[in-house]
Amino acid sequence: MDNPATPLDEVRANIAKACKASRREPADITLIAVSKTHPVETIEPLLEQGQRVFGENRVQEAQGKWPELRERYPDVELHLIGQLQSNKAEDAVELFDCIHGLDRKSLVKALGKAMEKSGKRVPCFVQVNIGSEEQKGGCDIADLPGLLEQARAADIPVIGLMCIPPADIEPAPFFALLAKLADENGLDQLSMGMSGDYETAVMLGATHVRVGTALFGKRG
Ligand SMILES: *Cc1c(COP(=O)(O)O)cnc(C)c1O
């Protein structure tokens, strides 16, 4: 008898469907399995199924979980998806392969310094406050060109834009706006889409989707 489909199989199938509908290739989409709050035992089954790209939102939590897992799965790629405090920049550069929350000049400064010191240039996404929400992280749309300029001057490899659209309203217009901003600024990677809306994000050009709940179940 065939094994029943796992959540990972289902998410992959949904991405493939969204790709087909929008004439894209699944190989062009990176599925980031967001393992924040989940212990090593919950993460391992996904590693055993071949998933290699994971996302965490706290430096300290990731430092506790991933060194051990990486010893056993050396080809793991770890993305920092959450807000980053400037005083954790050095730790973040050491541990992560990609940083999604570059959103302010003070952080550009801190990351630039950390990368200079370590000699490791970690690819970054600039997070945009796409819904212009007051409490939300991300740089203002109007500040984006200036921030990109500053990041380039600091030798930070910015590869694309990232957003978290406002909750409880249709995300598609915000994904489309992020794609437009990336295009205007000569960037071709888009980190957008979570458990509730990753198919929509793929159809609107996401290259990286960040999926937690649909893979691991509800966080405690
Ligand atoms: C937690 C988190 C996710 C994953 O959210 P789910 O709804 O569980 O898929 C994606 N992106 C960021 C920035 C997050 O903090």
* Predicted confidence band of residue 1 (pLDDT cuts 50, 70, 90): low
In a domain, 1, yes or no: no
Assess whether the C-beta atom of 212 lies below 6 angstroms from ligand 1: yes
pLDDT in tens, 114-172: 999 999 999 999 999 999 999 899 999 999 999 999 999 999 999 999 999 999 999 99
Q: Mean pLDDT, to the nearest integer, of 6-30?
A: 98
The minimum-distance atom of ligand 1 relative to the CA of 82 is 13
Domain encompassing residue 22: 7-216
Alpha-carbon distances, residue 64 vs 58, 59, 72, 213 (angstroms): 10, 9, 15, 21
35 lines ligand 1 (CB under 6 A): no
**CATH number of the domain encompassing residue 60:** 3.20.20.10
Q: Which residue has the CA at smallest separation from atom 11 of ligand 1?
A: 210
pTM over 0.95: yes
pLDDT of 220: 76
State how many domains the chain has.
1
pLDDT at 130: 98
Residues 6+ apart with CB under 8 A from 146: none
For ligand 1, the distance from its centroid to the CA atom of residue 134, given in whole angstroms, is 19
Q: Is the CB of 164 under 6 A from ligand 1?
A: yes
